[in-house]
Amino acid sequence: MTTMTKASGAVPHAGGGLFSLIGRLFDAHEAVGRGLVTYLEPLFNVAARIWMGKIFLDSGLARVANWDKQEFLFQSEYKLGLLSPKLWAIITTGAELVLPVLLFVGLFTRVPALGLLIMTAFIHFVVGFANEDYLAPYHYVWMLAFGYLFIRGGGPLSIDGFIKSQRE
């Protein structure tokens, strides 16, 4: 009778040496990472939501305060086409007023994060193509923050997190 044994591709652990040290360092590194995700990421998530939401809410409030100039901006400076300048002004102002509020409270967080990511990319790559004043390097940071929020969602310190905890 022939006996078969299962062979493992893993390198056996030696009593010490460099591989053992690297393994222990990696385990410690991963333990720190788990702690950061558990305790600091929720705070980072809230900070990202508030920081990014405030930028766009302030912009929306400025648009409302200077409403008489909005149609002119979309007609002469932004030159987006497709829709009328008045409709563009209404859509973008509405988005800048509603989406940040959803971010602040963390309700359906991925929706406002994606909307504001698209808006930022559009400002940078489309409007910036026509007017170099809109090619700001910080737009890349904004897009990364919105990408993070789109991928991770609102986290545990959000309405999304509360709803998720109630459904589990």
pLDDT digits (tens, 9 = 90+) for 112-140: 999 999 999 988 888 788 778 778 889 99
Q: Which of 142, 154, 138, 57 is nearest to 97 (CA)?
A: 57
CA-CA-CA-CA torsion sign (83, 120, 153, 44): negative
pTM: 0.79
pLDDT exceeds 70 at position 61: yes
Give the residue with greater pLDDT, 10 vs 16.
Answer: 16
Domain locations in the chain as residue ranges: 43-167
**What's the CA gap between 103 and 124, in Å, rounded?**
21
**What's the CA gap between 103 and 80, in Å, rounded?**
26
